[in-house]
Amino acid sequence: MAILADITPLRQSVPFRRLWWGQGLAAIGGQFTQMAVSLEVYALTKSTFMVGLLGFCALVPLIIMGLYGGSLIDKYDRRIVALIASVVMWGATIGLAIEAWAHLDNVWILYLMVAIQSGASAVNMPARTAVIPRLIDRSLLPAANALNSATWTIALMLGPVVGSMLVAAFGYKWAYTIDVVTFTASLYAVYRLPSVRPLPSENPDDEPVRGWRSVADGFVFLATRPNLRMTFFMDLAAMILAQPVALYPAIAMTMIGGGETTAGWLSAFVAIGSVLALVFSGPLGKIRRQGLVVAIMVTGWGLGILGFGVVLMLVGVTNPDHVIWWALIASGVCLAFAGACDSVSSVFRNVILQSATPDNLRGRLQGIFTVTVAGGPNLGRVVSGSLVRGLSGISAVPLGLTALAGGGLCMIAAGVLTRVTPGFIKYDANNPVP
């Protein structure tokens, strides 16, 4: 059995290979921007709550455009839809760079640009994902999704660390500017895609896709398909209840020490675990009980975040002038374990969605999926940032208690979901029933 990642999709499909490289470079630059925005907001406001509010600013346009964008993807050429959305994302990144180079120091401009980026991304991501099953054979979907996850996780590993170093050494403007440059690779890759028009419905009585009515049709389909529905619920349980990203700046400044660089490493640890899991992802293509694996991996994510919370509780609030190395290393182990579990969960949730959804509904379901995958962490930022604020009067270590509680709640939620829908853990990849 092959142990290392299967690169067959890259060899067999030139458009997929081009898309993979393009989105990988863009993802690294995007992580520069995400880290820089969080650090700039914290520098301007000194508030974890205001950093968490970035999640809310991204969440609203993401929900609106993620849902409506799915109807566009199922009606128009998916290449054109992805290209237009990519141009808008590129423009918002240029706006962030202008704000930094002009030294405007305005948190509301940052919120606005993040909102525009999020809305455009909510269309771009599902459009590109809906294209993939048309570029490769269905049997290669696990390998293709593992490769895509690898690019994102490598970006998560390198982006926060290098981005935080860029900010510390040269300021926010260079992090944003590099993102502008790297995103051109994604624009080029989408531009070179072949035309990918939606296939007609298997039901001849279906009416053409139209606006919000088609969005409602997508929700009706999802509501009656328990296996697909569970992929969404599982991800929401992990990302809303146990998402510690908004805590990283404060943890780095007031607990572990190391400032911006430590905040970058905390983000990178999750990605390091993901990359290690995906490097050895060769056997994933042989797994049939994909729903069972998703449930186990979501539980593992919660366990990793719970362990991270335990480490923080042991550290306490110290205001250190230097890095507490044992805490940084222990945090890295816990977050890397969580990242490894999340990457495997992500691969199979994508495969289940792509395999069990008809092509004429794939855009709308991918739109809802994008709202879930991207919206869940953004909502999780708001939840964790608000929870820290609420617990500050109860505990001397509200950051640790927030992570501890979130991880435990995620594990409980995963167990409850599998009890409510026991058929999900019996899902068979050879018979992809939605």
Q: pLDDT, tens digit, for every residue of 100-150?
A: 898 888 889 999 999 998 888 888 887 887 788 778 877 777 777 777 777
Higher pLDDT, 418 or 24: 418
Burial of 393 (0-12, 13-18, 19+ CB in 10 A): exposed
Per-residue pLDDT tens digits for 69-94: 777 777 778 888 888 988 999 999 99
Higher pLDDT, 201 or 207: 201
Using CA atoms, how far apart are residues 219 and 229, in angstroms rounded to an integer?
Answer: 10
Identify the top-confidence range among 31-35, 320-324, 416-420: 416-420
SS3 string, 356-392, reads: HCCHHHHHHHHHHHHHHHHHHHHHHHHHHHHHHHHHC
pLDDT at 396: 44
User: In terms of pLDDT, which residue wins out, 227 or 377?
Assistant: 227
Q: Is the pLDDT of residue 337 over 90?
A: yes
Residue type, 357: T
The predicted model gives 311-334 an average pLDDT of 83
User: Is a pLDDT exceeding 70 seen at residue 388?
Assistant: no
End-to-end alpha carbon distance in the chain = 29
**With pLDDT > 90 as the criterion, what percentage of the chain qualifies?**
9
Residue 395 has pLDDT above 50, yes or no: no
Q: Is the pLDDT of residue 97 over 70?
A: yes
> How far is it, in rounded angstroms, from Cα 81 to Cα 75?
10
pLDDT of res. 206: 52
pLDDT score recorded for residue 213: 67
**Is the per-residue pLDDT at 367 higher than 80?**
no
- DSSP-assigned letters across all residues of 292-322: HHHHHHHHHHHHHHHHHHHHHHHH-S---SS
pLDDT computed for residue 394 by the predictor: 46
Of 98-107, 247-256, 325-334, 396-405, the range with the lowest mean pLDDT is 396-405
Q: What is the mean pLDDT of the chain?
A: 80
Instruction: Say what the pLDDT of residue 432 is.
Output: 60
SS3 431: strand
- Asked if residue 302 has pLDDT above 90, the reply is yes
Q: Give the residue extent of every domain in the chain.
A: 14-192+223-426
The residue among 428 and 203 whose pLDDT is bigger is: 428
Going by C-beta distance under 8 Å and a sequence separation of 6 or more, which residues neighbour residue 75? 198, 208, 209, 210, 214
135 contact partners, CB below 8 Å, separation of at least 6: 13, 15, 16, 19
DSSP for residue 200:
P
Q: Span 289-311, mean pLDDT?
A: 89
Question: Confidence class of residue 392 from pLDDT cuts 50, 70 and 90?
Answer: low
Rounded to the nearest 10 degrees, the angle between the axes of helix 325-356 and helix 226-241 is: 160
pLDDT exceeds cutoff 70 at 205: no
**How sure is the predictor about 334, in pLDDT bands with cuts at 50, 70 and 90?**
very high
**In the prediction, which pLDDT does 203 show?**
55
Please, how many CA atoms are within 13 Å of residue 229, restricted to the half-sphere of its CB?
A: 15
Q: Are 230 and 356 in contact (CB under 8 A)?
A: no
Whether the pLDDT of residue 347 is over 80: the answer is yes
Instruction: At 224, give phi and psi (nearest 5°).
Output: -100, 10
Amino acid at 392: S
CB-CB contact of 127 with 313 (8 Å): no
Binned at pLDDT 50, 70 and 90, residue 300 comes out as very high
Q: What local confidence, expressed as pLDDT, does residue 304 receive?
A: 94
Q: Report the topology of domain 14-192+223-426.
A: Growth Hormone; Chain: A; (1.20.1250)
Span 28-68, pLDDT tens digits: 888 888 888 888 888 888 777 787 778 778 878 888 887 77
- Confidence band, pLDDT 50/70/90 cuts, at residue 305: very high
**pLDDT over 50 at 255, yes or no:** yes
Give the pLDDT band of residue 336 (cuts 50, 70, 90): very high
Q: Taking 70 as the threshold, does the pLDDT of residue 211 lie above it? A: no
Partners of residue 428 on adjacent β-strands: 431
